[in-house]
Structure 1
Amino acid sequence: MMNASWMETTDLAAGRGALGVGLVVAGIAVLALLIGMFVFGSRRVRSNDTSHPRPEEQPRMPEGGPVREVREQREPNEMPKSDERLTPHELGGHGNAGTRTGAAQERPRWEGGGSGGFGSGGPGAH
């Protein structure tokens, strides 16, 4: 004759196995849903994207040839002397408008024996 407690144990084990399979199936369904949403979203973005410019719409080189970089040493403009307090718009523009071309155009160099930076391990200029 079978034991009743053995039957209950087998029913519980069977229930747990079904629960485990159900969780795996639910996980696979969520994963498939996420992948499908990603694919759908990327196709939608790609369809709304503008097309590439045609060859006649491509940028062209200026008539005078390529634009070159200008290297020069800049010096700040002097502070105007005034008895009144000056407002920012009275001081002049920003960027290069507040500077002028410097008298010396050679690049500043480190002195011989200098380390080039604080804490770089060199003895520094003496």
Structure 2
Amino acid sequence: MSTASEQLAAASGLISLVLFLVAVVVLALLAGSFWFGARVKARESPRPRPEDQPHLPPEGAVHEIRENRESQEVPHVAKGERPLTPYELTNLQTRPSSDKTRPRWSKGSSGSFGGGGLGAH
């Protein structure tokens, strides 16, 4: 063997050793992370048992109530008086509507602005 080939062989052997050590370090880090994860999981509280899960109330399932709601009217200000500020308005509540029919959109309307329909013509 020539001197040049010996120097190349020595360098590649050193590179192989470095790569092997890097691989061993990576494997040690992975094994350590699994070990640490197992320790953390062991310290956590146990999973809830089936009897700890929520149950239906004794009177059975709660059902949805459908009703139409209407809001209170915004107070009107007489002509010449100063307008009300937002701070003078209270939280406007809703109450059940006497009308039991569900409101429907007009035929051919999507019911929203820019909904893509042809709109009411």
Same fold by TM-score greater than 0.5: yes
Shift of 1:116: 5.0
Q: What RMSD, in angstroms, separates the aligned Cα atoms of the two structures? A: 3.2
Q: 1:79 to 1:19 in 2, by over 3 A?
A: farther
Distance across 1 between alignment mates of 2:54 and 2:45: 17
Distance across 1 between alignment mates of 2:103 and 2:37: 53
Structure 1 residue runs without a partner (length 5+): none
Distance across 2 between alignment mates of 1:19 and 1:48: 44
Which of 39, 42, 54 lines up with 2:37 in the alignment?
42
Which of 14, 24, 29 lines up with 2:19 in the alignment?
24
Report the identity percentage.
32
SS of match in other structure, 1:108: coil
**1:84-95 correspondence to structure 2 within 5 Å:** 85=85, 87=87, 91-92=90-91
Q: 1:56 to 1:119 in 2, by over 3 A?
A: closer
Q: Write the letter of the residue equivalent to 2:9.
A: A
Q: Which residue of 2 aligns with 1:61?
A: 56
Distance across 2 between alignment mates of 1:124 and 1:51: 57
**1:1-126 correspondence to structure 2 within 5 Å:** 6-7=2-3, 9-80=4-75, 85=85, 87=87, 91-92=90-91, 98-115=93-110, 117=112, 118=114, 120=116, 122-126=117-121
Structure 2 residue runs without a partner (length 5+): none
Higher helix share: 1
Q: Deviations over 1:76-96 (max 9, x none)?
A: 3334568775648x724xxxx
Instruction: Give the aligned length.
Output: 115
Shift of 1:51: 1.9
Shift of 1:42: 2.3
Moved more, 38-47 or 79-88: 79-88
Which 4+ stretches in 1 moved above 4 angstroms?
A: 80-86
Shift of 1:62: 0.9
Q: 1:12 to 1:116 in 2, by over 3 A?
A: farther
